[in-house]
Structure 1
Amino acid sequence: MATQLTAINWAKVVTIALILLLIPLFGIHGQRQILYACMHISYCIWWLLEQKIYPDRCKQIFTEKVDTSAFIGALLIVGIFYSLPAILAFTNPTEISIAATATAIPLFYFGSLINTAADIQKTTEKAAGTGLVRTGIWSGVRHVNYTGDLMRYLSFSVVAGSLWAFLVPLSIFVLYVQRIRDKESSMKNKYQDFSDYKSKSFRLIPGIW
């Protein structure tokens, strides 16, 4: 039986294929489509490469087993629904504005840097036998990897140039809120210093929540 990670990996492949298919279907009208394709495809490729570079991550994330229906569900949600901004970007004939470009690029790159730095630090410290990871990039935000991921998906929506595209980061935010509740309930029981960490940090959004 496959794991959640395997299902998500295949979903990333589906996303890459879908975006590549959109190019001949709808064409390249301008910078919007080029920027979107480069950003989303590079993210998917990095997701897959990161597991080769840091194989310990495969033992730490999405290790739960999934049946066929859950596997297909992951392909549909992560592979296709999360690609909604891509479809909207390629069917948007208007030129992307300077403001949108200036917003999307920093969101994407800083989001990617934050997410990757958080993953690498946690993978390294967990492999070394560290308990609760609460230093470095994790010191101020308890789920900073989610923060970076949300920034990245927000950047896709900005490039798409449609309000409908924001359904994706909104749905991911709702999912993360539930995950945060579940994880923090578990962390409270697992780590004695979690209460102190919680009192000195934010859940997801620095300075807000």
Structure 2
Amino acid sequence: MERHKVPRTKELEFGGPLGALLLLILLPTTVFYLLLVCRTEQASLLSLPLPLPTLHSLWNPQDLALVLGWMGLQAVLYMLPTGKLMEGIPLRDKSRLQYRINGFHAMWLTALAVGAGLAAGLRLSYMYDHFLQLAFSAFLVAFGLSVLLYLKALLAPESKLALGGNSGNPIYDFFMGRELNPRIGTFDLKFFCELRPGLLGWALINTAMLVKETELRGSPSLAMILVNAFQLLYVVDALWHEEAILTTMDIVHDGFGFMLAFGDLAWVPFLYSLQAHFLVTHPQKLSLPITAGIIILNGLGYFIFRGANSQKNTFRRNPADPKVAGLQTIPTATGRRLLVSGWWGFVRHPNYLGDLIMALAWSLPCGLAHILPYFYILYFTGLLIHREARDERQCLKKYGLAWQEYCRRVPYRIFPYLY
């Protein structure tokens, strides 16, 4: 056991404990501010949306029960013996955890449940009417889960801790997450939260916004339909390729703490739906040529995103697969090889490039008069650049000279000829 002891985290991210403390305050504040601004007539980020809601107006036991019920439903669907069992990548002690891959099944069962509710008279636009209260409830759930995760990690053996969340500072470790793969029996808390309640919640919120717009104007706008269709494709794709998440930084490297819990349960569903939310109060008209151009742009982004991710995941699973066997690679001292052709010879992170092109296509249906609907792409650009920098540091440590050679042969990180 001692040989698997995790050393104290020395290289602190996000500005260390002070930065983590500021983010604990800034992240929820940002969500609330943007949601409030979205409902103002000006939708200006520079105008304080007064009057601000009181805590009493945000607290609603019924909405908290709805958020907990939604998570409970997704937890039940997660535990169903459907789909396939897959192993994650080897951990530090060479063991491999098993994961139940049934997110696509859960999505269809969720759709059937929501459809049955609508047939029975469920008023989905309630979510729009109580959006701030639901968001506040999601904050409470995310914070409560983060506290439980931190307390659980205090009892976990050191071999189970994440390399980046073991600084000894309680604020920093609470934010980053101490335990790498916290589980209750076989129920993997991090894997569950990564795609299920938040991603499906995002799709449900978008649908609720479409329903609300239909109630207000008689039919959904073309702009609303585009936003719903594009983002639903993204959600469906993520759940169809659910096993791909097993090789991501979130699962492999980051502990499960406030950063991921808040991101999964609050940030993703309530901010990624910002375009649909914006269109309810700020309707837009699109011409057919502009619509066609936006559809083509989203298709291009998806083509790059899916092609790059599929190529990477296939290579990681089986480098001898005929789909990737002919690609050029660079050998490393660890025994693994780095792809240096195909999508990964174009730029170092072609999946990020596709992601950002799609993000632009999601925002364009909201017009060009307001910056607010473009918050997602602005934030996402910063996030991916930061994530890319973290990935670069880790790969340099892991692969050394081989990574330097890869960077020499593939000089552009995300944007060809720019960055």
Report the counterpart of residue 407 of structure 2 in structure 1.
198
| More deviation, 100-109/174-183 | 100-109
Residue 68 of structure 1, CA deviation: 6.5
SS at match of 1:141: coil
Q: Quick one: distance in 1 between partners of 2:233 and 2:384?
A: 23
1:82 aligns with 2:291: no
Query: Which one of 189, 193, 217 corresponds to residue 6 of structure 1?
Result: 193
Larger strand share, 1 or 2: 2
Report the counterpart of residue 297 of structure 2 in structure 1.
107
Report the counterpart of residue 391 of structure 2 in structure 1.
183
SS at match of 1:193: helix
Q: Give the conservation status (yes or no) of the 8 Å contact 2:295–2:361.
A: yes
Q: Quick one: distance in 2 between partners of 1:69 and 1:125?
A: 29
Q: Quick one: distance in 2 between partners of 1:118 and 1:9?
A: 23
1:166 aligns with 2:374: yes
Q: Quick one: distance in 2 between partners of 1:171 and 1:187?
A: 24
Return the structure number with greater relative CO, CA threshold 8 A, min gap 6: 1
Residue 193 of structure 1, CA deviation: 2.2
Q: 1:142 to 1:67 in 2, by over 3 A?
A: same
Report the counterpart of residue 42 of structure 1 in structure 2.
233
1:18 aligns with 2:205: yes
Q: 1:183 to 1:69 in 2, by over 3 A?
A: closer
Q: Quick one: distance in 2 between partners of 1:12 and 1:26?
A: 22
Paired residue total: 205
Q: Quick one: distance in 2 between partners of 1:4 and 1:172?
A: 21
Provide, for residues 25-81 of structure 1, a one-character-per-residue CA deviation record: whole Å limited to 9, x for no partner. 121343112222111112111211112xxx3x2320221442467424422211111
| Consecutive unaligned residues in structure 2, runs of 5 or more | 1-181, 183-188, 320-335
Report the counterpart of residue 59 of structure 1 in structure 2.
246
| More deviation, 134-143/157-166 | 157-166
1:207 aligns with 2:417: yes
Residue 146 of structure 1, CA deviation: 0.7
Report the counterpart of residue 155 of structure 1 in structure 2.
361
| Consecutive unaligned residues in structure 1, runs of 5 or more | none
Provide, for residues 123-147 of structure 1, a one-character-per-residue CA deviation record: whole Å limited to 9, x for no partner. 1111125522222011020011111
- The 4+ residue runs of structure 1 with deviation greater than 3 A are 67-70, 97-100
Q: Tell me which amino acid in the other structure corresponds to 1:23.
A: L
Q: Quick one: distance in 2 between partners of 1:31 and 1:142?
A: 36
Matches within 5 A, 1:63-74: 63=251, 64-67=254-257, 70-74=260-264
Q: Quick one: distance in 2 between partners of 1:205 and 1:139?
A: 13
1:30 aligns with 2:221: yes
SS at match of 1:203: coil
Q: Quick one: distance in 2 between partners of 1:99 and 1:181?
A: 38
Identity of matched residues, %: 23
Residue 115 of structure 1, CA deviation: 0.9
SS at match of 1:132: strand
Provide, for residues 77-114 of structure 1, a one-character-per-residue CA deviation record: whole Å limited to 9, x for no partner. 11111111121233332311345424321221111111
Residue 148 of structure 1, CA deviation: 0.6
Q: Structure 1-normalised TM-score? A: 0.88
Q: 1:109 to 1:200 in 2, by over 3 A?
A: same
Residue 4 of structure 1, CA deviation: 5.8
Q: 1:69 to 1:134 in 2, by over 3 A?
A: closer
Residue 172 of structure 1, CA deviation: 0.7
Q: Give the conservation status (yes or no) of the 8 Å contact 1:96–1:159.
A: yes
Q: Give the conservation status (yes or no) of the 8 Å contact 1:12–1:44.
A: yes
Q: 1:193 to 1:68 in 2, by over 3 A?
A: closer
Residue 170 of structure 1, CA deviation: 0.6
Q: Quick one: distance in 1 between partners of 2:390 and 2:340?
A: 18
Q: 1:90 to 1:45 in 2, by over 3 A?
A: farther
| More deviation, 38-47/90-99 | 90-99
